[in-house]
Amino acid sequence: MKKKLPMYLTTGILTFLALTWVFPVFVVLINSFKNKLYINAEPFKLPNADSFVGMENYAEAIDHYELLKALVITVFITVVSVAVILICTSMCAWFITRVKNKVTKAIYILCVFSMVVPFQMVMFTLSKIANILHLTTPWGIVIIYLGFGAGLAVFMFCGFVKSIPLEIEEAAMIDGCTPVQTFFKVVLPIMKPTYISVGILETMWIWNDFLLPYLVLDINKYKTLSIAIQYMKGSYGRVDMGAIMAALIIAVIPVIIFYLSCQKYIIKGVAAGAVKG
Amino acid sequence: MSKNIKKYWPLFVLPTFLAFIIGFILPFLIGIYLSFCEFTTVTDATFVGLTNYVKAFQDTIFQHSFWYTAAFALVSLIIINVVAFLFALALTQKLKGTNIFRTIFFMPNLIGGIVLGYIWQLIFSGILSQYSMAINLDSRLGFIGLVILVCWQQIGYMMIIYIAGLQSIPEDMMEAADIDGASSLQKLFKITIPMMMPSITICTFLSITNGFKLFDQNLALTAGEPGKMSEMMALNIFNTFYGRAGYEGVGQAKAVIFFVIVVGIGLIQLYFTNRKEVEQ
Amino acid sequence: MKKILGVLLSVLMLLALVGCTSSDGGNDAGNTTEATGTVYYLNFKPEADAQWQELAEIYTEETGVPVKVLTAASGQYETTLKSEMAKSEAPTLFQVNGPVGLASWKDYCYDLTGSKIAGELTSNDYALMDGDKMAGIGYVTETYGIIVNTKLLGEAGYTLEDITDFDSLKAVAEDITARSGELGFSAFTSAGMDGSSDWRFKTHLANLPIYYEYTDEGINDTDAIKGTYLDNYRAIWDLYINNSTTDPSQLSVKTADDAAADFVLGKAVFYQNGTWEYNNIADVGEENISMIPIYIGAEGEENQGLCTGTENYWCVNSKASEEDIQATLDFMYWCVTNETAVKGICGGEGALPSGEAGMGFNIPFKSNPESSNPLVNINADYEAAGKKSVTWNFTTMPSEEWKNGVGSALTVYAADQTDANWDAVVSAFVDGWASEKAATK
C-alpha cells in the first residue's frame, strides 16, 4: 500500500502535464472556428454565438491561400525526397563500406563532416546553384535534399552495413548474384530497420523544413505548408488570424495521423537514430 | 568481392555523390570563397580580403546575438534534459497509460518550427495581454518564450532516447542493488546515471547544437523583436544576407564564423563520446 | 509494413502524374511565345495583387505575351527583389521607392528617356532621374492623412471645421476618450505595430517631422537628421495610442485588419491611412468618410494639406533580354493607355471585367480619369483651397533597417511611456539615421 500512493501521485502529475502539452494545439483548434477579430482579443474563450464562424476560416485558408495545393506540394516533396534519399544513400553507403579505398574513405569523411555544417553556411550559394541548374521545382528540390541530406543518411547506413556479416553477401555472390542483385535481394531486406529509422528522421526534417525550400523553390509557383503559413503572416498587407489558425490545424493534422499510424516505428526510429548519431 | 562490386560505382555511388556535390560541396567551397568577397550574386564577386570579417566582428548586434544564442542553448539544454530525464524515469515505472503519455509528450516534435512559433505566439499573447505585456516588447520575455517553446518541442524527443537508455540497464544490476539495501537515490546516482552517460552525452549535444541552429521558431515567434534584441545567430545571418543590399559578403563571413562555432561544439562532442567509449 | 509501402507508392505515382501534367501545361504556354519576349512584374503593392493578376491575364489574352506578376510580402520588397534579381529569370519590371532605392538598383535601370510611356506623363516631376538617365517613372500618386468617420464625429458633437491644428485635434480626441463609455466608440483605431500595419507610423507618420525639418533647412535630403520636430512626433504618437480602441501595450500584435475593422465597425472616429485604403473602408458609406491633415503642432500648420506623393517608381530591368525589355515597355504603355487597363487601375467598385474592384489609383498620366475614389477627390479639394501638400520625404529614409529600428522603439515606448523609452526612439531616429546613411553609402 505504501508504494501505491506515489504511483497515483506520479500518474496525476503526468496527466496534468499531458494536458498542458495538448493545450496549445487545443487553443489553436478552438480559435480556428472563431471570427478573426475575436482571436487576438480573447484567445482562451470557446467560440460563442458572436464569434463562431463554422468552417469559414478553413474555406478561406483553402480558397484564398491555396493551402491544399501547399499540402500536396509538401507531401510530394517529402515522399519523393525520402524515397530517393533512402535508395540512393543506402546503395552508396553499402558501396563505400564494402569497397575500401581512398576515394570511398574521403566520401565517408565528407558525409560525416556535412552533418555538422549549419545550413546558413551554404544557404546563399546553394540557392544560387539551384537556380542556375533550374532545380527550383518540386522535382528539382529532391536533388538538393538528396545532396544536403546525404550526410546523415550515409552515416547511419554505414554504421549498419558494418554490422552485417560479410559471409551472407559472399554466399549470394557465389550463387551467381550480381552486386545489384545481392544488394536488393540480400542487403536491403536486412537493413529494413535502418531504412525505417533514416526514413523517419528524414521525413521529420523535410516535412517541417522552411528555409531551404523558401530559398530554393520558385515560391511564386510552389509553396510548402511552412512557407504558405509564413506568407499568410507577412503578406498581402493583411493578416487574417482566422485563416492562419485554420492553416495551422491543416498543417498539424497530417502529422498527427502519420504519427498515430506509425507511432511504433517512429519511436523506435528516433531511439535507434540517436544511439548511432 | 570488393573488385566485383567496384565496377558498379556509377550505379551505387554516382547519384548520391553528384547530388552531394551540388547540394553540399560546391555551395560550401564557394561559400568560403565568397566570404572574402563583395558580391550581390555569385557571378559578380570581387575579392576584398578580410573586410567582411572585420565588419562582422564589429557588428554589435551580431555579438549580442552570439551571447543571446549561447545563453539560450545553455538554459534550454539544462531544462530539456532534466525534465526529459524525469519523464523517462516516470514512464519506465510500472504505471498505467505510459504509452499514452509517451505519445502525447513526443507529438510536438513532429510539428514544424514555423507552425510551432505561431501556435505559441497565440498562447503567449493571450496570457501576456492580461498583464499588459507582449512577447515582442521585451527580449527577456522573448527568451523565456523561446525556451518554453523549445522545451515543449524537444523534451519528448530526448525522453524517448532516455527511455531507450533506461531500458537497456540490466535488471539484475538493480536487483543486486536492492539486495545490498541501496536507497532509490543511491540507485539513481550510483547505477542509473553512470549507466546512462552515453544517452546523456548524446542528448546534451543534440540539444546544444539544436539550440545554436534555431531559426524557424525564432523567426515565427519574435522575429528578433524588439529591435533585434531577441535575434539569434541563425536569424541574424539570414537578415544580414537578405535584409539590405551590399551586405551579402558580411552575411557570408558571419555564416563562416557560425560554422566554426558549431563545428567547435561538434568536436567537443566527439572528444567526450570517444572518451566515454574508451572508459567502458 | 507492406501495406504502408503500397499506399506510399500509389500516392507517389499519383503525385508523379499530377506533376507531369501540370509541368506539360507550363511548357505549352512557353513554346508559343518564345520569340516575342515575356514580362515579369514584381509588384510592390500587396493590396493590388489580385487586380494586377487579372490585368496580366487580360493582356496575355489580347496580345499573347505572357505576363507573370509576383507580389512581395508586405515589408519584404527589397528582400524579394534581391533574391529574384539574382535568378536567371529575373523580373523585367520592378519598382524602387525613390532616390534611396534607386541608389541600390541604378545599374539595373533601363533608360526610359523617349519611351512611349514617358510621353504619357503629365509632368516630368514624376520621372525619377539618375543624372541624365530617366531611371524610373512614378505610376501612382497617393495621399494619406487622418481618415475621419464624420458621422461618429457628429455624434460626439463636432464637425470637421472644429479641427484646424494639433491642439484642436487633441482637444477633440481627448474629449471623445473621456466620454467613450457613453459614446460607444474611441477617437483612434488601434495603432497596430504588427508588420502589416507598422509602416503607417514608422514611415508615414515619421514623414512629418522630417518634412518640417527639411522645410526649415531648405533641403530635400540629408546625411544627418537633427530631429528638431521629434517632440511633436511624440505628441502625436501619444495622442494616437492613448486615445484608441486598444491598450497601448497590445499594439505589437494588432494588425492592419484590426485597425480597419475598428473603423468599419464604428469603434473609432479617426484612422490614419491613405487613398489606397478606400476599398477596405467603403462600407462606412461615402458620405461619412473624409480625410484631414496630420497635424503635429508645427508652426503654420493651419495651411498644411494632406501628404501627397509617390514612392512607386516603375523601372525596367536593363539586364533583361532585348525582347523582354520591349515586351515590358509595351505592357507598361498598355497599362496607362488601354481603356480596360486604366479603368482597372484607377476605377473603384466593379471596375475590372471580372466585377472585382479596381485599384483606385490616381495616376500621373494623361489618361487619368476623374477619380472614383472619394479620398483622392478630397485631396484635390485641399489643393484647390490653397493648402500646401506635404511631400513624401520618407523616400529619403536611409533604409528598411532604419524604419524597423524606429518601429521597434515606438512599440516599446507605447507599452511603457517613459522618457527613457522615448530617448530610445530619438536615438533610433537620429543616430540610426546617421549610421544607416553611412552603412548604405
* Whether residues C130 and C204 fall in one domain: no
B89, exposed or middle or buried, with CB in 10 Å at 0-12, 13-18, 19+? middle
Bridge partners of C74? none
**Does the distance separating the beta carbons of C254 and A40 come in below 8 Å?**
yes
**What is the structure's pLDDT at B54?**
92
Q: What are phi and psi of C298, to 5 degrees?
A: -85, 160
Share of chain C above pLDDT 90, in %: 52
- Of the pLDDT bands very low, low, confident and very high (cuts 50, 70, 90), residue C414 is very high
Report the distance separating Cα A228 and Cα A217, nearest Å: 12
Q: Average pLDDT of C275-289?
A: 88
pLDDT of residue B274: 67
Kindly report, residue by residue over A172-198, the tens digit of the pLDDT.
888 888 888 889 988 899 888 889 888
At residue C357, the pLDDT reads 84
Assess contact for C172 and C160: CB atoms under 8 A.
no
Contact C147, C289 (CB under 8 A): yes
CATH of the domain at C103: 3.40.190.10
Percent of chain B clearing pLDDT 90 (strictly above): 39
Dihedral sign of CA atoms A243, A248, A249, A255 in order: positive
Rounded Cα gap, residues B249 and B53, in angstroms: 9
> Each residue of C375-393: pLDDT tens digit?
988 988 998 898 999 989 8
Range list of H helices, C76-162 = 77-85, 99-105, 150-155
> Percent of chain C beyond pLDDT 70?
91
Contact predicate C159/C167, CB 8 Å: no
* Count: domains in chain C: 2
Give the mean model confidence (pLDDT) for residues C224-235.
Answer: 94
- Please give the pLDDT value at position A81: 96
Separation in Å, CA C223 to CA C123, C213, C251, C395, C396: 29, 13, 31, 13, 10
Q: Is C90 on the interface with B (CB under 8 A)?
A: no
Q: Quick one: pLDDT band at residue A236, thresholds 50, 70, 90?
A: very low
CB contact under 8 A, B213 and A229: no
Taking residues C260-264, what's their average pLDDT?
Answer: 91
Q: Where are the beta strands (DSSP E) in chain A?
A: none
Cβ of C400 within 8 Å of Cβ of B243? The answer is yes
Average pLDDT over residues C400-414: 91
Inside any domain, residue C339: yes
Inter-chain touch B255–A123, beta carbons under 8 Å: yes
**Which amino acid, one-letter code, is at A34?**
K
Return the percent helix, strand and coil in chain A, to nearest 5: 75, 0, 20
Same domain for C400 and C257? yes
Residues A259-268 have pLDDT tens digits of 888 888 888 8
Q: What is the mean pLDDT of residues B258-263?
A: 92
What is the pTM assigned to this prediction? 0.82
Distance (Å) from the alpha carbon of B235 to chain C's nearest alpha carbon: 14
**Domain contains C24:** no
| pLDDT for position C1 | 42
Query: What is the per-residue pLDDT for C15?
Result: 42
Query: What tens digit of pLDDT does each residue of A26-62 get?
Result: 999 999 999 887 887 788 888 888 888 888 889 888 8
Task: Give yes or no: residues C326 and C294 share one domain.
Answer: no
Q: Are residues C136 and C121 in the same domain?
A: yes
Contact residues, chain C, for A138 at CB < 8 Å: 19
Question: Is 3.30.479.10 the CATH number for A67-274?
Answer: no
Q: What average pLDDT does the structure give for chain A?
A: 86
d(CA C211, CA C402): 17
Q: Which residues pair with C128 in a beta bridge?
A: C136
Contact at CB, A43 and B123, closer than 8 angstroms: yes
Interface with chain B: mutation pick from C100, C247, C403, C412, highest number of B CBs within 10 Å: C412
Cβ neighbours of residue B85 closer than 8 Å, sequence gap 6 or more: B158, B162, B196, B200
Q: Do A147 and B20 touch (CB under 8 A)?
A: yes
Which chains have 3+ CB pairs within 8 A of C? A, B
pLDDT tens digit sequence for C283-308: 899 899 999 999 999 988 989 999 99
C204 lies in a domain?
Answer: yes
Report the run of H or E that residue B53 belongs to, with start and end.
Answer: helix B51-58
| ipTM of this predicted structure | 0.87
Does C237 share its domain with C283?
A: yes
Q: Left, alpha or beta for B22 (phi > 0: left; psi -120 to 50: alpha)? A: alpha
Nearest-CA distance from B34 to chain A in Å? 9
Kindly report, residue by residue over A59-88, the tens digit of the pLDDT: 888 888 888 999 999 999 999 999 999 999
Whether residue C21 is contained in a domain is answered as no
B125 touches chain C (CB under 8 A): yes
Reported as a single tens digit per residue, the pLDDT across C133-156 is 999 999 998 899 999 999 999 999
Considering the domain architecture, whether residues C274 and C149 belong to the same structural domain is answered as yes
Q: How many helices (H) and strands (E) does chain B have?
A: 15, 2
Domain that holds residue C359: 31-141+311-366
- Residue C272 shares a structural domain with residue C359: no
Q: Which domains does chain B have, with CATH numbers?
A: 56-279 (1.10.3720.10)
Cell of B200: 546523456
pLDDT the model gives residue C354? 87
Specify if C2 maps to a domain.
no
Please report which confidence band the pLDDT of residue C13 belongs to, taking 50, 70 and 90 as the band edges.
very low
Q: Which helix (H) or strand (E) holds C316?
A: strand C313-316
Q: Which three cell numbers stand for residue B250?
A: 558580411
Chain C contact for B126, CB < 8 A? Answer: no
Contact C71 A236 (CB under 8 A): yes
Task: Say whether both C299 and C225 belong to one domain.
Answer: yes
Q: What is the pLDDT of residues B119-137, one digit of tens each?
A: 998 899 888 888 878 887 8
Q: How far is A222 from chain B (nearest CA, A)?
A: 17
* CB B38 within 8 Å of CB B249: yes
Query: What number is the average pLDDT over the span B163-190?
Result: 85
When the pLDDT of each residue in chain B is averaged and rounded to a whole number, the result is: 87
Chains that touch A (3 or more CB pairs under 8 A): B, C
Whether C382 and C369 have beta carbons less than 8 Å apart is answered as no
Does C129 lie in the same domain as C56? yes
Q: Could you give the 3-state DSSP secondary structure of residue A168?
A: helix
For residue A261, list chain C residues with Cβ-Cβ distance below 8 A: 4
Same structural domain for residues C85 and C147? Answer: no
Q: What is the Cα–Cα distance from A128 to C234, expressed in whole angstroms?
A: 45
